[in-house]
Amino acid sequence: MNIVRTRDYEEMTGRAADMIFEQVNRKPDSVLGLATGSTPIGVYRQLASWCQEGVLDFSRVRTVNLDEYAGLSKDHPQSYSYFMQEHLFDHINIDPQNVHIPDGLGEETAECERYDNLIRSLGGIDLQLLGLGHDGHIGFNEPEDHFPAGTHMVRLSESTIQANKRFFADESQVPRFAYTMGISDILQSRKVLMIVSGGDKAEILREAFTGPVTPRVPASILQFHNDFTLIADEEALSAF
């Protein structure tokens, strides 16, 4: 596990964007695993800006997103599909056919199978970008008594509903279920890059990477990944 400590969000963003830049330059048809949430917004802005300057080419890149709310169509303004268009895909030269996100309206069994087969058919993920939930979730793999392997539907935890209600008109609008890649999908990625910012994540970050590996803190499983980089700012690392 490689830990990069940065001064602040901006430096964290720059370091993470550099890693993705190097990945795409080294392998122009990379499969990038992508996350939503507030943390990666700066990274996406930087990647879009390099693409517009002509120094980064997404024309052969394939992407697979971690998760999507169940019950939301891809043009719903709070869907993760919409988020990705708005923050990244609308601003880069990616082929829309190379963009993959779980279908929030898909039937449960068929959609989970389709998404796992899709990841396999792309040859797996070269670099998976992750944020960290306040309850230790990665993707939407919430604290449980086991590590779920493949793509599955989850009931969102109360802490996740509370954290995500800021994006909705009110709490009752936050979907209660989501599709997420499973823990094996994530662990099979050749590289995993997690970005974490802010003091509100300090305690869970400490638990995840200095405590025992347990499905009660899903991110802790990354301690076992052999090419895992954590880029976190000083506030997030303040309890380490």
Task: Kindly tell me which of 57 and 161 has the beta carbon lying closer to ligand F6R.
Answer: 161
Bridging pattern class, strands 177-180 and 67-69:
antiparallel
Size of the site for ligand F6R (CB under 6 A): 13
Q: What angle do CA 114, 98, 2 make, to 5 degrees?
A: 90
Identity of residue 119: I
Q: What residues are labeled active site?
A: 67, 135, 137, 142
Judged by DSSP in three states, 130 sits in: strand
In the complex, the smallest distance separating the C-beta of residue 30 from ligand F6R, rounded to whole angstroms, is 19
In the complex, the smallest distance separating the C-beta of residue 188 from ligand F6R, rounded to whole angstroms, is 17
Whether residue 188 contacts residue 152, with contact meaning beta carbons closer than 8 Å, is answered with no
Q: What angle do CA 4, 50, 164 make, to 5 degrees?
A: 60
Q: Report how far residue 214's alpha carbon sits from residue 212's, in angstroms, rounded to the nearest whole number.
A: 6
Site mask for ligand F6R (CB under 6 A), range 36-75, x = bound? xxxx--------------------------xx--------
Q: Which of 100, 137, 191, 225 binds ligand F6R (CB under 6 A)?
A: 137
Q: Which of 17, 31, 32, 35 binds ligand F6R (CB under 6 A)?
A: 35
Judged by DSSP in three states, 106 sits in: coil
Task: Kindly tell me which of 28 and 77 has the beta carbon lying closer to ligand F6R.
Answer: 77
- Note whether 81 binds ligand F6R by CB under 6 A: no
